[in-house]
Structure 1
């Protein structure tokens, strides 16, 4: 019987698992990604390590980077990134990391050089209380604060300044003085300072520093939410009050608001992440009965830790318009 020659391309299409099919038309095996360079590893805490490397360029394009702890893969990172935090590690333990690149066809390049990082031992000891706090008003909108350094069994990472129960400022652990700005004229303040270490242990609060800013052109109505509006809607057999407003223009971001209903504090809301700078909105439960007339106002907690002025009062009735 006469044999019919089979073209090499068809043969490769039928026998994908043979080594011959892994070669291109010129007989060369397709290249795999290169070796990641510049790999470093540094402990970020007692339970995490920050691994970094240089991005690979050239052919073939990298699809993902694979990060290994010892022989086990612990992370996959997209090609446009070149760092990752490896978490859930043990305190006081040495780890070895390598990085490999993988292309879009699944080819995995050689491992990088090994890098080693040791997590510090667990730190459950808080810094001591900052001592001898002093303060003075600097004009009508700022205050200068000083304190004695706290001590820690390792190192104080930062100092945090509180106005009442609200953190309003933070400085590095090497600083024992700061200027707090964005205050209101003619306003009495009480500040305390707490020390924080690298393990996020927080010291007790220092003694309080009490001072009053100088009189001046107060912010007044400018601290109130502007263009405040209220309406109602019905959903799931209940009524809700819908609020919209423009945040007050201050020296910092406003993250917390208090809603007053019929003259009393009803609820508060705190924006996580990036709080709105333009129009904000909030909706809250108002009951199941129609025809309920309610008065509502809103105020913001300002970056200096004090409450701003109340918005204009709006009156809504459940069932009207929805």
Structure 2
């Protein structure tokens, strides 16, 4: 199924409707698309943590290349969506972009550029932060877990927290953040997570207490991956009815840039933010037809940063011409 771009609305939002055309998207052997949801955040005075959303392609993505300005500075396998760029200079602004490469070696276009500034160098600092305390977690369905912890302390400042799955670091968040959602897990699987704090001098704390969790069996995605506060209403404009939607994006690591709207049990519209997507309340409106008294059921779900679809929001019933 191919998606055809119809129009662009607020926030650089691109709306696409499915059609029965042959080919299209990543299913016809073309190079993969540009990664979305790219972020960059300083991890220390000499490093920056770059993250991006997974790219869907056919053939599948085999790797990602990370660029600092016009220079390639790193490469990771297709299952990874993060890279620490190291050996940087303190108090410096850097620009990063990411490209996807498929299994046949084709490189897609560069993502939008993102900027990060490394902190200023300080006097010699050999004191690591204290370990994060009271680390807790819970399974959020079959493919995600939610973690939280008590903030670490440091004689200067905690710049970031590193999240480990077993012995492997899988993610970093800013020093002001004390909770995260890890997605892309397997159903019915036992996991162990720990958290470490990092300061500007790259001193890393001991690990906080481990959290051992088992994801739910099945494939329910977990309600925590669903958009929250979903609402729908109809309105009349220029002789036709429209359905107005509003919601809050799910709280997951990375940036949600794509949603799928389901109308009356069938996929109706895909929404892709070309610019910066809203972190808070999001809104969208689409055409429902000229007739009053027509009932519809509508809900939506987000494509998560790991490339999988999250759970659907609660379903909302509306009737054209009726007001709530």
TM over 0.5, yes or no? no
- Give the TM-score normalised by the residue count of structure 1: 0.39
Structure with bigger RCO (C-alpha 8 Å, 6+ apart): 2
Structure exhibiting the larger radius of gyration computed from Cα positions: 1
- TM-score after normalising by structure 2: 0.39
